Amino acid sequence: MGNVIDHYDGSAPTYHLQYDPDHLWQQDEYPPNFFRLQMVTRILSEVGATSVYDLGAGEASPMVSIHRDLGIRVEGSDISPEMVRLGREHLERHGLRGEALSLVDSRDAEAVSAERARRGEFDAVQALGVIPHVTDDAAFVRAMSSFLKPRGTLLLQFRNSMFSMFTFNRMTKEFILDELMAPIPQEFKDAVAADLDRRLAADLPPVRRRDDGHGYDEILARFHNPFELAEVVRAQGFEDIRFHWYNYHPTYPMLSGQFDRADYWKAQAALEHEGTWRGMFLCSAGVIQATKTA
Ligand SMILES: C[S@@+](CC[C@H](N)C(=O)[O-])C[C@H]1O[C@@H](n2cnc3c(N)ncnc32)[C@H](O)[C@@H]1O
């Protein structure tokens, strides 16, 4: 498993391109994070947040954009020194204070509590693309919660394991055997595993790899079951839990090559605000919105 810090230090210089309207559609991959940022900006506006703390803020593109669109206080932190260095420059280029972004590992409870003492409380806290990279979900939600006022809003992004039910590949097989059939005896699982090998494209998707050994599939990048993650959030003192979905797929990914890339991306983008139960299966990622009880 590669190192998360090295991975993000390496991607920091180009990370902003996925948010840049001039480059958005020139890249090799569809830009889901652009739609994620639109979604969280809309929710922050709806709940009337006047401040947001961004845990795992990257190179501050979301902070800059949210401040530009909503005019609210934005502060945050990240574990990657390169993200923080470039993020501070980015903030200053847009008239914000570079110190609004700190170097903090969310898993380090002492560092989080020192950061909380420095920053104070916020109306909202967001973590976009971060929980896939940590192992202790409850501790992560506690760290987020520590920045929130009572009745404040939590926005927690996750990679959606339910999407496996629409991919018909190796991820479907793993989801069925490891999650859906978890309480079922091994002899039944063995029969299903052998049958699924005939029905599914169990050798797909190929592992994404970069030459330096820090490709996204080589770092810790977990999927979460939305129902289980919602329970973790609830147990940390949250209510009014809602799911929001993004990164829609109009077909399962292995069919995408049959279509013109621009047409496929257009169909994906057209679905991004679909907003119904379908997102739980058509989307590879989601955001949990929840209110801190006290
Ligand atoms: C997928 S990027 C998203 C960045 C930003 N939230 C955005 O939406 O553009 C995930 C970020 O989380 C940071 N990260 C990963 N693990 C972390 C941790 N334990 N503490 C703080 N930041 C972390 C990474 O360095 C990276 O910048």
User: Which structure tokens are listed for 230?
Assistant: 């919602």
Pocket test for ligand 1, best of 8, 103, 105, 136 (most atoms within 8 A of CB): 8
Query: Within 10 A of 185 (CB to CB), how many other CB atoms are there?
Result: 8
Nearest CA to ligand 1 atom 17: 79
pTM for the model stands at 0.95
Q: Which CATH architecture has domain 4-163+209-292?
A: 3-Layer(aba) Sandwich (3.40)
Tens-digit pLDDT profile for residues 69-88: 999 999 999 999 999 999 99
Tens-digit pLDDT profile for residues 114-160: 999 999 999 999 999 999 999 999 999 999 999 999 999 999 999 99
143 HSE (CA, 13 A, CB side): 27
What are the start and end residues of each CATH 3.40.50.150 domain in the chain?
4-163+209-292
Span 262-270, average pLDDT: 96
CA 37 to ligand 1: nearest atom: 8
Cα gap 133→219, rounded to integer Å: 8
Confidence class for position 1, pLDDT limits 50, 70, 90: very low
| Averaged pLDDT score across all residues of the chain | 95
Confidence class for position 205, pLDDT limits 50, 70, 90: confident
Is the CB of 134 inside a 6 Å radius of any atom of ligand 1? yes
Nearest CA to ligand 1 atom 27: 58
User: Which structure tokens are listed for 20?
Assistant: 């840049």
Pocket test for ligand 1, best of 33, 40, 130, 216 (most atoms within 8 A of CB): 130
